[in-house]
Structure 1
């Protein structure tokens, strides 16, 4: 049975070009496609379980698709943040380093919230980010105040588990 390193080398040499092309067709950008193709293989290198692939391209596409979604999410967050910054008076703008830190923070928050059901995420964001009282959230979402309380508690617990483990 081939070693994990040999399997990865073969997977890389046999499919890197194809994966790069597939990513280029999804992203429309050769540089981003090359980065995400590399990130796909880095993710495989960092896996602890042994790779035994019957359909390597389907597997690579699945891993890469997750990276593409993360890439698009980051672009969307950056765009929204830059639009918000553009609305600020010039003396309140941030340094490029601060912007990068905020992008990273927003990205990690988005990843944490990704695992939530839509109603739970919405209730949590309305309560935590918008500061809307639970009663108003309940009216807005057409649910009970108790449901809002449960959704926010579920979201907080979800974030806690992701942050600190179980």
Structure 2
């Protein structure tokens, strides 16, 4: 069974704190809330009990961050749209065990597919999807054209889609 100790979880977050924070700020547009969500990532990591090992802890932390950002935005939108009485009557839509296992399997298939990419293609995809860089920023950083950035991102997405459809 895989579990993160508090010190392991803290070390993982500290190693990637700045990039996770940038990623969250780009998603939710609030630095203070991003700091709160970093704490939530820590809590999720130390409360994790998984029978399957996590191949890429950094990617796993990003997945948690993305899910937390989505949850935060949903809650924000819901509270803007309904009053308190309606909010207490909403169904619980947390993922069940089957959905969690299925999601982990899909994530693993995508990770394996991405490992088959060239180092440059993987770098471009990582900068775009996990670090929140724009296509223009990636092109400038890697000294390549925006068109080349877009083609490599499409290639990476097709690789993931193929891996998922073959499963």
TM-score by length of 1: 0.46
TM-score by length of 2: 0.46
The structure whose Rg is larger is 1
Higher relative contact order (CA 8 A, sep 6+): 2
